[in-house]
Structure 1
């Protein structure tokens, strides 16, 4: 039954019941209308309106659920769907919900595809910049250090002291360039694997930010695809950055463990926490990376009690 005939039928049912009561009930209407008759008529009208409202609310409830979902749906949180009504749900409402669910399927697929392209292009650009910093800037600064060393060895005081200061400044700049290279492209991830990369990452953050970082990595983790390992690394990197810059945290726990069908990364800090409405570009980026790897990202936080980031990456199925 279409929505039109459902609404028509509900109204006809209420009006038919009211007419039947008027026909068979021992009620008459005088001219002028008596007070008791007016009370009965107003009461009957109220009952009829309440019944009509209740029936219409029941009949249009799927549209209300659809409206609420449309107002809150987020493509970075996939899987939000409306249940399709049964045979009594009305053909038009059922088709509308099915079309909306199908539209969400297409949008999520298109969003995942476009995000994958953007993130892959971003990683490629990071790799190119890191390579140029290492090959061009790093080598140039190394050559400057050698020249300064030779000049300082041949110079007399106080020029030698100034050259030594220039060496220290150049050496600090070279260390910063190397840190940027590691941040842009974790070479240790390609060379030594995920656990070594996360160990190096947490050690660097503890050294440069003063955070007390506690690591807990399971042994014998299953082999993951390169893209999945990169997603795990980037999510851990962004979580540590948020803890150091925005959460005012003092202690961070980073764990990596295996389950029967997945590898789970958890980063927990003791900072001030965040509100769901305050998710910034960093957290949105983590959600996009999770979609890229087919992973599930869960962020739980209560203001004043810290934040926990949990990323569950499914392991490849054995063929």
Structure 2
């Protein structure tokens, strides 16, 4: 029965009964006596109560739908509302679920394209830094060395200082290029890339300890890149903002169907601060491969980043 008829028929029934009572055994006199007032008051109360019950039962699914619409979170997809209620309400809930399915599909495709374009741009910038800027600084370094070898002592010291400054800049350019495009990830795999990352990320006063399981299930290149980027962002946050002197990064299999990355530090924690672009970027990458990301306080203080990655194995025949 449609929502209209569910509301109209009880109202019509109550009004018809009231009319029959007034036309039949019940009459209204002037002035109204006590018995007539009781009958009319009881009829009005019954009518209002019936309206309230019917409206509450009919509109409750709409209230649940409104709450579901308000609670939709793009960063936590998959929540759907159970299709219940009268025909129009059930159709509306089903349409809402279909719309959320379409939006999540489109968002996932858009997110994948955006991250792919971002990685492509990083690769291009890293290549240009290595091939163009790196080679130019190398040529400058060689020219400075050649000139310093022939210069007089007062000028030679200045040239040696410029040579060291140029070498430091060249090393920094190479380090930035490696962070933009982790070649070791493509060549040697995830474990080796994480070892190199912990070596490069270290800052004065910060010790990073590695706990990498020796035998990990095979991961596809996109999954490995996501795990590496999440670890990179987490360690970068530790080095820049956590004010920590110790951090631990661990990567281990969990059962037969998942791999777990954990980065924890002993710093000041995130407190009640809103998630920044770094954490949002980690969540976006985790959603891309169907992983679960949790960022919160560690067991002994500081911040803990927990990434659980499902391992999709192929069946053999």
Q: TM-score, normalised by structure 2?
A: 0.85
| Corresponding residue of 1:272 | 269
| Corresponding residue of 1:57 | 56
Aligned with 1:255: secondary structure? strand
Runs of 4+ in structure 1 off by over 6 angstroms are: 26-30, 34-44
State the alpha-carbon separation in 1 of the partners of residues 45 and 272 from structure 2.
Answer: 45
Does the 8 Å CA contact 1:214/1:252 hold for their aligned counterparts? yes
Find 1:126's aligned residue among 110, 122, 128: 122
**Is 1:239 the equivalent of 2:238?**
no
Post-superposition CA distance 1:276-298 (Å, at most 9, x none) = 8x223222222221222232223
1:167–1:99 CA distance, 2 compared to 1 (3 A): same
Does the 8 Å CA contact 1:273/1:305 hold for their aligned counterparts? no
| Corresponding residue of 1:223 | 218
1:31–1:61 CA distance, 2 compared to 1 (3 A): same
State the alpha-carbon separation in 2 of the partners of residues 204 and 65 from structure 1.
Answer: 51
Shift of 1:7: 2.4
Find 1:255's aligned residue among 242, 250, 256: 250
Does the 8 Å CA contact 1:249/1:272 hold for their aligned counterparts? no
Please tell me the root mean square deviation across aligned C-alpha atoms, in Å: 3.1
Shift of 1:169: 1.1
Does the 8 Å CA contact 2:7/2:51 hold for their aligned counterparts? no
1:96–1:177 CA distance, 2 compared to 1 (3 A): same
Does the 8 Å CA contact 1:148/1:166 hold for their aligned counterparts? yes
State the alpha-carbon separation in 2 of the partners of residues 161 and 251 from structure 1.
Answer: 40
1:132–1:17 CA distance, 2 compared to 1 (3 A): same
Shift of 1:54: 4.2
| Corresponding residue of 2:6 | 6
Shift of 1:220: 0.6
Aligned with 1:208: secondary structure? coil
Aligned with 1:100: secondary structure? helix
Shift of 1:309: 2.4
State the alpha-carbon separation in 2 of the partners of residues 46 and 170 from structure 1.
Answer: 90
1:121–1:41 CA distance, 2 compared to 1 (3 A): same
1:246–1:3 CA distance, 2 compared to 1 (3 A): farther
Shift of 1:147: 1.6
Q: TM-score, normalised by structure 1?
A: 0.84
Shift of 1:62: 1.6
Unaligned runs of 5+ residues in structure 2 are none
Find 1:281's aligned residue among 254, 277, 280: 277
What does 1:83-102 correspond to in 2, within 5 Å? 83-85=82-84, 89-102=85-98
| Corresponding residue of 1:80 | 79
